[in-house]
Amino acid sequence: MKKINMADPHFDEDDRKWIHREIDAILDGALSMGPNVRAFENEFAARVGVRHAIAMNSCTSALEAALLAKGVAGREVIIPAETFIATGMAVHLTGGIPVFAEISASSLCLDLEDVKRKVTSRTAGIILVHMAGLLSPEVAEFRRYCDSEGLFLIEDAAHSPGARSAGKEAGSFGHAGCFSFFPTKVITAGEGGMLTTDDDAVASFARSYQNRGRDMEARAEHYLNPGRNVRMTEMSALLGRVQLSHLDEFLGRRRRVAAIYGEALAGAPGMQLLLPDDLECSSFWKVPLLLEPGLDREMIAEHMAAAGIAVDWAYQPALHLQPVFRALYGTSEGLLPRTEELLSRHLCLPCHPRMSDDDAIRVAEAIRTAIEGSARHGLGR
Protein backbone atom coordinates (compact mmCIF):
# COMPACT_ATOMS: atom_id res chain seq x y z
CA MET A 1 0.00 0.00 0.00
CA LYS A 2 1.41 3.38 -1.05
CA LYS A 3 1.96 5.71 1.88
CA ILE A 4 0.70 9.26 1.37
CA ASN A 5 2.79 11.74 3.35
CA MET A 6 1.99 15.33 4.28
CA ALA A 7 4.89 16.54 2.13
CA ASP A 8 7.07 14.96 -0.53
CA PRO A 9 9.67 17.29 -2.12
CA HIS A 10 10.16 16.57 -5.80
CA PHE A 11 13.20 16.93 -8.07
CA ASP A 12 12.87 15.24 -11.47
CA GLU A 13 15.73 13.86 -13.57
CA ASP A 14 16.27 17.12 -15.46
CA ASP A 15 16.40 18.94 -12.12
CA ARG A 16 19.02 16.53 -10.83
CA LYS A 17 21.15 17.03 -13.94
CA TRP A 18 20.90 20.81 -13.55
CA ILE A 19 21.85 20.56 -9.88
CA HIS A 20 24.81 18.25 -10.53
CA ARG A 21 26.08 20.51 -13.33
CA GLU A 22 25.77 23.65 -11.22
CA ILE A 23 27.37 22.05 -8.16
CA ASP A 24 30.59 21.70 -10.14
CA ALA A 25 30.43 25.40 -11.01
CA ILE A 26 29.79 26.30 -7.36
CA LEU A 27 32.75 24.22 -6.18
CA ASP A 28 34.97 25.95 -8.72
CA GLY A 29 33.64 29.41 -7.86
CA ALA A 30 31.76 31.15 -5.06
CA LEU A 31 30.38 28.99 -2.25
CA SER A 32 28.72 32.03 -0.68
CA MET A 33 27.35 35.36 -1.95
CA GLY A 34 27.57 34.09 -5.51
CA PRO A 35 25.55 34.11 -8.75
CA ASN A 36 22.88 31.62 -7.68
CA VAL A 37 21.83 33.72 -4.68
CA ARG A 38 21.62 36.84 -6.84
CA ALA A 39 19.70 34.99 -9.56
CA PHE A 40 17.29 33.45 -7.04
CA GLU A 41 16.60 36.86 -5.53
CA ASN A 42 15.95 38.41 -8.93
CA GLU A 43 13.76 35.54 -10.11
CA PHE A 44 11.76 35.50 -6.88
CA ALA A 45 11.22 39.27 -6.91
CA ALA A 46 9.98 39.06 -10.50
CA ARG A 47 7.63 36.24 -9.58
CA VAL A 48 6.12 38.02 -6.58
CA GLY A 49 6.01 41.35 -8.40
CA VAL A 50 8.17 43.44 -6.06
CA ARG A 51 11.36 45.47 -6.49
CA HIS A 52 13.41 43.65 -3.87
CA ALA A 53 13.90 40.09 -2.66
CA ILE A 54 16.59 39.30 -0.10
CA ALA A 55 17.55 35.65 0.39
CA MET A 56 18.20 34.52 3.95
CA ASN A 57 18.87 31.34 5.87
CA SER A 58 15.27 31.04 7.11
CA CYS A 59 11.87 32.68 7.19
CA THR A 60 12.55 33.41 10.86
CA SER A 61 15.53 35.57 9.90
CA ALA A 62 13.42 37.33 7.26
CA LEU A 63 10.79 38.13 9.89
CA GLU A 64 13.43 39.44 12.29
CA ALA A 65 14.95 41.64 9.58
CA ALA A 66 11.56 43.08 8.61
CA LEU A 67 10.65 43.79 12.25
CA LEU A 68 13.99 45.43 13.02
CA ALA A 69 13.72 47.51 9.85
CA LYS A 70 10.35 48.83 11.02
CA GLY A 71 11.52 49.45 14.60
CA VAL A 72 9.45 47.43 17.08
CA ALA A 73 11.52 47.69 20.27
CA GLY A 74 9.17 48.32 23.19
CA ARG A 75 6.12 48.38 20.93
CA GLU A 76 3.28 45.95 20.26
CA VAL A 77 2.91 43.75 17.19
CA ILE A 78 -0.42 42.01 16.61
CA ILE A 79 -0.17 38.39 15.48
CA PRO A 80 -2.39 35.29 15.36
CA ALA A 81 -1.92 32.46 17.83
CA GLU A 82 -2.53 29.97 15.00
CA THR A 83 1.03 30.11 13.64
CA PHE A 84 4.49 28.61 13.97
CA ILE A 85 6.56 29.58 17.00
CA ALA A 86 8.86 31.69 14.78
CA THR A 87 6.21 34.36 14.19
CA GLY A 88 5.90 35.21 17.86
CA MET A 89 9.53 34.56 18.73
CA ALA A 90 10.71 36.95 16.01
CA VAL A 91 8.64 39.70 17.63
CA HIS A 92 10.04 38.93 21.08
CA LEU A 93 13.67 38.64 19.97
CA THR A 94 13.53 41.98 18.13
CA GLY A 95 12.29 43.73 21.27
CA GLY A 96 8.61 43.84 20.38
CA ILE A 97 5.64 42.70 22.43
CA PRO A 98 3.41 40.11 20.75
CA VAL A 99 -0.31 40.79 21.09
CA PHE A 100 -2.52 37.88 20.08
CA ALA A 101 -5.73 38.35 18.10
CA GLU A 102 -8.48 35.96 16.99
CA ILE A 103 -8.64 34.12 13.68
CA SER A 104 -11.55 33.74 11.28
CA ALA A 105 -13.46 30.45 11.28
CA SER A 106 -13.65 30.45 7.48
CA SER A 107 -9.96 31.05 6.72
CA LEU A 108 -7.95 30.43 9.93
CA CYS A 109 -6.28 33.79 9.17
CA LEU A 110 -6.34 36.88 11.39
CA ASP A 111 -9.75 38.48 11.89
CA LEU A 112 -9.45 42.17 10.99
CA GLU A 113 -12.27 43.26 13.30
CA ASP A 114 -10.62 41.63 16.31
CA VAL A 115 -7.28 43.10 15.29
CA LYS A 116 -8.84 46.58 15.31
CA ARG A 117 -10.01 45.96 18.88
CA LYS A 118 -6.44 45.10 19.90
CA VAL A 119 -4.76 48.18 18.39
CA THR A 120 -3.49 50.70 20.96
CA SER A 121 -1.22 53.73 20.97
CA ARG A 122 1.67 51.29 21.45
CA THR A 123 0.92 49.23 18.35
CA ALA A 124 3.64 49.30 15.69
CA GLY A 125 2.17 46.89 13.19
CA ILE A 126 0.61 43.56 12.27
CA ILE A 127 1.96 40.24 11.05
CA LEU A 128 -0.66 38.60 8.83
CA VAL A 129 -0.10 34.85 8.43
CA HIS A 130 -1.47 33.27 5.26
CA MET A 131 -2.45 30.00 6.93
CA ALA A 132 -1.96 26.67 5.13
CA GLY A 133 -1.24 28.53 1.89
CA LEU A 134 -4.43 30.59 1.79
CA LEU A 135 -3.87 34.24 0.98
CA SER A 136 -5.87 35.99 3.69
CA PRO A 137 -9.22 37.04 2.18
CA GLU A 138 -8.81 40.34 4.03
CA VAL A 139 -5.23 41.09 2.98
CA ALA A 140 -6.11 44.17 0.91
CA GLU A 141 -8.31 45.49 3.73
CA PHE A 142 -5.46 44.90 6.19
CA ARG A 143 -3.12 47.00 4.04
CA ARG A 144 -5.63 49.83 3.72
CA TYR A 145 -6.25 49.77 7.47
CA CYS A 146 -2.54 49.77 8.29
CA ASP A 147 -1.91 52.67 5.93
CA SER A 148 -4.75 54.66 7.48
CA GLU A 149 -3.46 54.05 11.03
CA GLY A 150 0.26 54.46 10.39
CA LEU A 151 1.00 50.78 11.07
CA PHE A 152 3.21 48.39 9.16
CA LEU A 153 1.93 45.14 7.64
CA ILE A 154 4.24 42.13 7.35
CA GLU A 155 2.96 39.09 5.48
CA ASP A 156 4.12 35.78 6.94
CA ALA A 157 3.87 33.98 3.61
CA ALA A 158 5.85 30.90 4.67
CA HIS A 159 3.08 28.64 3.34
CA SER A 160 1.90 30.62 0.35
CA PRO A 161 4.27 31.32 -2.55
CA GLY A 162 2.18 31.75 -5.68
CA ALA A 163 -1.12 32.37 -3.89
CA ARG A 164 -2.80 35.17 -5.82
CA SER A 165 -5.74 37.56 -5.57
CA ALA A 166 -6.76 40.50 -7.77
CA GLY A 167 -3.60 40.13 -9.84
CA LYS A 168 -1.23 40.32 -6.87
CA GLU A 169 0.74 37.53 -5.21
CA ALA A 170 1.37 36.79 -1.56
CA GLY A 171 4.33 38.84 -0.41
CA SER A 172 3.40 41.91 -2.46
CA PHE A 173 0.55 43.32 -0.35
CA GLY A 174 2.40 44.27 2.83
CA HIS A 175 5.38 46.47 3.60
CA ALA A 176 7.33 43.20 3.63
CA GLY A 177 6.66 39.53 2.93
CA CYS A 178 8.53 36.58 4.43
CA PHE A 179 8.78 33.12 2.85
CA SER A 180 10.12 29.73 3.96
CA PHE A 181 11.92 27.10 1.90
CA PHE A 182 11.99 24.34 4.53
CA PRO A 183 11.62 20.82 3.02
CA THR A 184 7.90 20.60 3.91
CA LYS A 185 7.00 23.87 2.18
CA VAL A 186 5.52 24.52 -1.28
CA ILE A 187 9.01 24.97 -2.74
CA THR A 188 12.18 24.02 -0.90
CA ALA A 189 15.81 25.01 -0.81
CA GLY A 190 16.57 22.48 1.94
CA GLU A 191 16.66 25.42 4.33
CA GLY A 192 16.19 29.10 3.64
CA GLY A 193 13.89 32.08 3.50
CA MET A 194 13.19 35.21 1.47
CA LEU A 195 12.14 38.74 2.35
CA THR A 196 10.20 40.62 -0.33
CA THR A 197 9.45 44.33 -0.33
CA ASP A 198 8.90 47.45 -2.40
CA ASP A 199 10.27 49.57 0.46
CA ASP A 200 13.83 50.64 -0.35
CA ALA A 201 14.62 51.32 3.32
CA VAL A 202 13.46 47.85 4.40
CA ALA A 203 15.49 46.24 1.61
CA SER A 204 18.62 48.21 2.47
CA PHE A 205 18.33 47.34 6.16
CA ALA A 206 17.70 43.65 5.39
CA ARG A 207 20.80 43.40 3.20
CA SER A 208 22.85 45.02 5.95
CA TYR A 209 21.29 42.85 8.66
CA GLN A 210 22.08 39.60 6.87
CA ASN A 211 25.72 40.69 6.67
CA ARG A 212 26.20 41.49 10.38
CA GLY A 213 25.01 45.07 9.92
CA ARG A 214 27.59 46.01 7.31
CA ASP A 215 27.15 49.02 5.03
CA MET A 216 26.72 47.16 1.75
CA GLU A 217 27.19 50.34 -0.31
CA ALA A 218 30.63 51.18 1.10
CA ARG A 219 33.93 49.67 -0.03
CA ALA A 220 35.31 49.96 3.49
CA GLU A 221 34.19 47.48 6.14
CA HIS A 222 31.79 49.78 7.98
CA TYR A 223 29.01 48.44 10.21
CA LEU A 224 25.92 50.61 10.55
CA ASN A 225 23.33 48.39 12.24
CA PRO A 226 23.07 45.45 14.60
CA GLY A 227 23.13 42.35 12.44
CA ARG A 228 23.87 38.68 12.03
CA ASN A 229 25.23 36.30 9.43
CA VAL A 230 21.93 34.95 8.10
CA ARG A 231 22.80 34.71 4.41
CA MET A 232 21.55 31.96 2.14
CA THR A 233 24.22 29.62 0.74
CA GLU A 234 24.82 29.10 -2.97
CA MET A 235 23.75 25.46 -2.63
CA SER A 236 20.41 26.41 -1.09
CA ALA A 237 19.87 29.11 -3.71
CA LEU A 238 20.50 26.57 -6.46
CA LEU A 239 17.86 24.22 -5.05
CA GLY A 240 15.49 27.16 -4.64
CA ARG A 241 15.95 28.25 -8.25
CA VAL A 242 15.22 24.74 -9.50
CA GLN A 243 12.07 24.55 -7.40
CA LEU A 244 10.92 28.06 -8.34
CA SER A 245 11.10 27.11 -12.01
CA HIS A 246 8.40 24.49 -11.28
CA LEU A 247 6.18 26.63 -9.04
CA ASP A 248 3.28 26.92 -11.49
CA GLU A 249 3.43 23.18 -12.17
CA PHE A 250 3.47 22.42 -8.44
CA LEU A 251 0.59 24.81 -7.78
CA GLY A 252 -1.45 23.31 -10.60
CA ARG A 253 -1.11 19.87 -9.09
CA ARG A 254 -1.86 21.05 -5.56
CA ARG A 255 -4.96 22.88 -6.75
CA ARG A 256 -6.10 19.79 -8.64
CA VAL A 257 -5.81 17.71 -5.45
CA ALA A 258 -7.74 20.37 -3.50
CA ALA A 259 -10.45 20.45 -6.19
CA ILE A 260 -10.85 16.67 -5.96
CA TYR A 261 -11.24 16.97 -2.20
CA GLY A 262 -13.85 19.66 -2.73
CA GLU A 263 -15.86 17.49 -5.12
CA ALA A 264 -15.50 14.25 -3.18
CA LEU A 265 -16.25 15.76 0.23
CA ALA A 266 -19.04 18.17 -0.72
CA GLY A 267 -21.75 17.77 1.88
CA ALA A 268 -19.77 15.16 3.81
CA PRO A 269 -21.16 14.77 7.34
CA GLY A 270 -19.09 15.67 10.36
CA MET A 271 -16.74 18.13 8.69
CA GLN A 272 -16.35 21.43 6.87
CA LEU A 273 -13.61 21.61 4.25
CA LEU A 274 -12.00 25.06 4.20
CA LEU A 275 -11.55 25.80 0.50
CA PRO A 276 -11.64 29.27 -1.09
CA ASP A 277 -14.09 29.87 -3.92
CA ASP A 278 -11.13 30.77 -6.14
CA LEU A 279 -8.42 28.11 -5.85
CA GLU A 280 -5.85 30.59 -7.17
CA CYS A 281 -6.04 32.28 -3.76
CA SER A 282 -4.17 29.39 -2.13
CA SER A 283 -0.96 27.49 -2.72
CA PHE A 284 -2.46 24.61 -0.69
CA TRP A 285 0.48 23.84 1.55
CA LYS A 286 -2.14 21.71 3.29
CA VAL A 287 -5.91 21.45 3.01
CA PRO A 288 -7.55 22.24 6.37
CA LEU A 289 -10.95 21.16 7.57
CA LEU A 290 -13.00 21.62 10.71
CA LEU A 291 -14.47 18.60 12.47
CA GLU A 292 -17.86 18.83 14.14
CA PRO A 293 -17.63 19.22 17.92
CA GLY A 294 -17.47 15.91 19.74
CA LEU A 295 -15.57 13.95 17.10
CA ASP A 296 -12.38 12.25 18.27
CA ARG A 297 -9.56 13.77 16.24
CA GLU A 298 -6.95 11.36 17.58
CA MET A 299 -9.10 8.39 16.58
CA ILE A 300 -9.56 9.86 13.10
CA ALA A 301 -5.80 10.37 12.72
CA GLU A 302 -5.16 6.78 13.84
CA HIS A 303 -7.67 5.48 11.28
CA MET A 304 -5.96 7.49 8.54
CA ALA A 305 -2.52 6.25 9.60
CA ALA A 306 -3.77 2.66 9.44
CA ALA A 307 -4.88 3.40 5.88
CA GLY A 308 -1.37 4.63 5.04
CA ILE A 309 -2.34 8.31 4.97
CA ALA A 310 -0.74 11.04 7.05
CA VAL A 311 -2.86 13.85 8.48
CA ASP A 312 -1.94 16.48 11.02
CA TRP A 313 -3.07 19.69 12.68
CA ALA A 314 -1.06 22.87 12.45
CA TYR A 315 0.14 24.61 15.56
CA GLN A 316 -1.41 23.23 18.67
CA PRO A 317 -1.23 24.33 21.37
CA ALA A 318 -1.94 27.81 20.13
CA LEU A 319 1.02 30.15 20.38
CA HIS A 320 -0.25 32.00 23.45
CA LEU A 321 -0.50 28.65 25.26
CA GLN A 322 3.07 27.56 24.50
CA PRO A 323 5.09 27.37 27.74
CA VAL A 324 7.56 30.04 26.60
CA PHE A 325 4.85 32.65 25.98
CA ARG A 326 2.96 31.72 29.14
CA ALA A 327 6.17 32.39 31.06
CA LEU A 328 7.11 35.57 29.20
CA TYR A 329 3.71 37.26 28.94
CA GLY A 330 1.39 35.50 31.39
CA THR A 331 -1.00 34.33 28.66
CA SER A 332 -3.44 31.54 29.46
CA GLU A 333 -6.52 29.62 28.35
CA GLY A 334 -9.51 31.77 27.54
CA LEU A 335 -7.52 34.64 26.04
CA LEU A 336 -8.65 33.68 22.53
CA PRO A 337 -11.75 31.49 22.91
CA ARG A 338 -12.56 31.29 19.21
CA THR A 339 -9.00 30.40 18.21
CA GLU A 340 -8.73 27.82 20.98
CA GLU A 341 -12.02 26.20 19.97
CA LEU A 342 -11.16 26.12 16.26
CA LEU A 343 -7.72 24.65 16.84
CA SER A 344 -9.18 21.89 19.00
CA ARG A 345 -11.13 20.50 16.05
CA HIS A 346 -9.17 21.36 12.92
CA LEU A 347 -7.31 18.79 10.87
CA CYS A 348 -5.20 19.02 7.70
CA LEU A 349 -5.22 16.70 4.70
CA PRO A 350 -2.08 16.07 2.62
CA CYS A 351 -1.66 18.04 -0.59
CA HIS A 352 1.48 17.97 -2.71
CA PRO A 353 2.57 17.60 -6.35
CA ARG A 354 3.44 13.91 -6.11
CA MET A 355 -0.15 13.01 -5.28
CA SER A 356 -2.17 11.58 -8.18
CA ASP A 357 -5.90 12.00 -8.72
CA ASP A 358 -6.35 8.47 -7.38
CA ASP A 359 -4.35 9.38 -4.26
CA ALA A 360 -6.63 12.36 -3.62
CA ILE A 361 -9.74 10.21 -4.06
CA ARG A 362 -8.28 7.63 -1.67
CA VAL A 363 -7.65 10.33 0.96
CA ALA A 364 -11.18 11.69 0.57
CA GLU A 365 -12.75 8.25 0.93
CA ALA A 366 -10.57 7.45 3.95
CA ILE A 367 -11.41 10.67 5.79
CA ARG A 368 -15.13 10.10 5.20
CA THR A 369 -14.82 6.61 6.65
CA ALA A 370 -12.70 7.80 9.59
CA ILE A 371 -15.16 10.56 10.49
CA GLU A 372 -18.12 8.19 10.23
CA GLY A 373 -16.31 5.77 12.53
CA SER A 374 -15.60 8.50 15.07
CA ALA A 375 -19.24 9.60 14.96
CA ARG A 376 -20.46 6.03 15.59
CA HIS A 377 -17.98 5.65 18.44
CA GLY A 378 -19.24 8.87 20.01
CA LEU A 379 -22.85 7.72 19.80
CA GLY A 380 -21.95 4.43 21.42
CA ARG A 381 -20.38 5.95 24.51
Q: Which burial class, exposed, middle or buried, applies to 268 when counting CB atoms under 10 A from its CB (0-12, 13-18, 19+)?
A: middle
* SS3 label, residue 163: coil
Distance of alpha carbon 342 from its chain centroid, rounded?
19
Q: What is the maximum span of the chain, computed from C-alpha positions, in angstroms?
A: 75
H or E segment to which residue 169 belongs: strand 168-169
Half-sphere exposure of 122 (CA within 13 A, CB side): 11
Please tell me which residue in 3, 70, 185, 286 is annotated as part of the active site: 185
Distance CA 241, CA 149 (A): 38
* Residues sharing a CB contact under 8 Å with residue 108, sequence separation 6 or more, in sequence order: 82, 131, 132, 134, 274, 288, 342, 346
H helices of 154-276, in order, are 200-209, 234-244, 247-264
Instruction: Confirm whether 3 is a catalytic residue.
Output: no
Element (H, E) at 140: helix 139-149
Report, as residue numbers or ranges, the catalytic residues. 185
